Structures are given as C-alpha cells and as structure tokens.
Structure 1
Amino acid sequence: MKISHLRLLVPNVNECFLFYRDILGLKVLHGNEDTPYAEFQTGDINIALEPLLMNEHTEVLRERDDFSASDRVAIIFEADDVDATCHQLKSRGVAFVKEPHDTPEWGHRVAYFRDPAGNLIEINAGI
C-alpha cells in the first residue's frame, strides 16, 4: 500500500480552497471554489478538501495562532528556503505561529502556520 493523497475534512471548503490555491499557490487538480470537493497537486501525495463528515461546530476548532502539542496531524511542505518562503507567504497574509528557526536535532529549519480550518502546516528545509 502507499498513500495516494491526504483528505482534509474542513468546516469551510470554499475558504480552504482559496487558501490552498491563492495563498499557497498549489495547482488545482479537481474542483473549484464552488464545489464540495477539491484536490491539489503537491508532489507525490496530493491534498484534497471535503466538508466535515459530522456536524461539528467551528467554535470547537483551536484558534489559528495557537501552537500546541495537542495537534494530531501536521502537513509538511519541503521548501528550498524556509525564510524566503515565509516572506512570500507573509506578503500574501499568512500569520505564522512559529517563525523560522533551526531544529538541529532534526537537521531542519522550520516554520509553522495554520490553514483556515486550523490544520497545522510546517515548511522545512535541511540545514
């Protein structure tokens, strides 16, 4: 078996679609801002968006700027230059919950932010 894609169950597909397409600049493989399902190309594993499966309230979601060990999943993007990527994403309105910093124990430079659904996203590059 191999992972074919990652499906994010989100409270607002439209808002997340616009974030992944317009802010992160991912290529759309399926859907648009008006469809209940969308998929983006990210390399070998694609990211898909779909509405929540159960009736969850968005108030239950953590604040976007709350960086916490209670996250169960992080979406990791490899970047050529973490600082340059952060600068570019900040110019598009992304608020980082952890600014670029080195993690020598892992051999990476990393930074963290959240998508509109509260999913933790890491960008990293080897140091």
Structure 2
Amino acid sequence: MLSQIRILVDDFPTSYRFYRDVLGLSPQETGEDPAQAEAGPYGAFKDKQGGTDVALFDRALMAKAVGGDGAGERGSADHAVLAFRVPDVDAAYAEAIGRGAQSAAAPVDQPAWGMRVAHVRAPEGTLIEFCAWEG
C-alpha cells in the first residue's frame, strides 16, 4: 500500500513552512515541540482528505541511507521517494529485484527511523522504498 509520498529537500525549515503555512497541510502529531518539528530532518503532513501522507525528509540523509550521492539513474539528485508500507520488506525487495528492478539499497534496519527499509529504482531513476514498522 502506498503509505507516503516523501519530498526530499535541502532547506527543511523553509519547505516545512511552505507545506504547513502556504498549502495548509496539518503536521502529524508527534508530541515534539513545534519548533523542533520545523527544524527537521523529517516531518509528515496529513492529507486533508485522509489519503496518502505527504512527508519531507532531508535529501542528504536519504542519500546516505541508500549509500550514494542522491543521484538517480539519469544523474539528477533525488527529489522524491514513493514509500510503500509492506508486511515483509525482504520479500517485497526480493520480488521487485526478481521482476527487474534496479537495487538502490538492500534491506536494512533503520533504528533511528523505527523501521526496516529497502530501496529500488524505477526505470527512470525514481527512488522506491519498501518499509515496515510496528503499529
């Protein structure tokens, strides 16, 4: 299930304020101080209609997570990640690779994120994440 569209940004506070103040999206409650949420490196917003979340994430941290410089197949920096919540990250990753997806990063636990993740790339270089977490 597509759980999130993640926008990768270089200037997190400015981007956070844009999505919150200009587009009017409501930040997801995390229990942290709003000033800390605005500082990043991650923030999620609720879709007004209750659909897929929109999130912001620091581009450099995502590049580090996939072991690269953030450049996709065509050489441009990653701008977005389609995040799919799956019951078994390893199985979803293996199935995608078996069907011809290009590996970006094999399954790994990301304790700081509270989840297990793996990344592949679509033919034009779009970063795809398979993720699983408790709850």
Q: TM-score, normalised by structure 2?
A: 0.43
Of Structure 1 and Structure 2, the greater helix share is in 2
